[in-house]
Structure 1
Amino acid sequence: MMIVTTEEVAGYETKEVLGYVKGSTIQTKHIGRDITAGLKGIVGGEIKGYNEMMTEARKLAVERMVKEAEEKGANAIIGMRMQTSTVMAQAAEIIAYGTAAVIEKK
């Protein structure tokens, strides 16, 4: 599956637009990460536990988006974007979305 953030793929022609696809996940913090984050807030530095959590959340959101695109018969997702939002005090949603399409080399 080709995934691009552009509206067109150089060297390819969009044969069919299959529609909007998305994948999302909501991740929560756990006490171990909160303790580490609290300490980092005092002394500074990267909060690796949160970074790992968000990396995994992005990966999962993209995997879910790809699955939805494959179910529609797509071989590409164009115009892909990601967003995050806080859904409650201890949880964040990651959403990946784009347009499922069938593309062919020119």
Structure 2
Amino acid sequence: MAEPTFPAADVRALLSAIREVIALPGGATYEDELVRRRILDRRAVVLDAVLERVLEDGVGSSLTLAWRAEQLRRQVSKYPAAGYAEAVALLDDAVELAAAAAEQGGAS
């Protein structure tokens, strides 16, 4: 049985969609991290189902990897990365506050 071959652009589209699914910023607090993990758990179930379909499609399927990537994005959009404070955002805020404090200290 011949293994399916896919256009490189379609493979990149699917890999990009997978990265979007799993690349969620860390939570700022323990509670935020719990919310983030629940979101990731739900997204992982969707990802697993889409990848299973990709593997089942096989040779000669009219469904492209790019179409599956869009399907993945649509399904995951039901579980947005929202409802928790991101650690990165808090760090950015702290850096801005420190810079502002340094400017005020230097202006006296």
The TM-score normalised by the length of structure 2 is: 0.31
Greater RCO, 1 or 2 (C-alpha within 8 Å, sep 6+): 1
Flag the structure with higher helix content: 2
Structure number with larger C-alpha Rg = 2
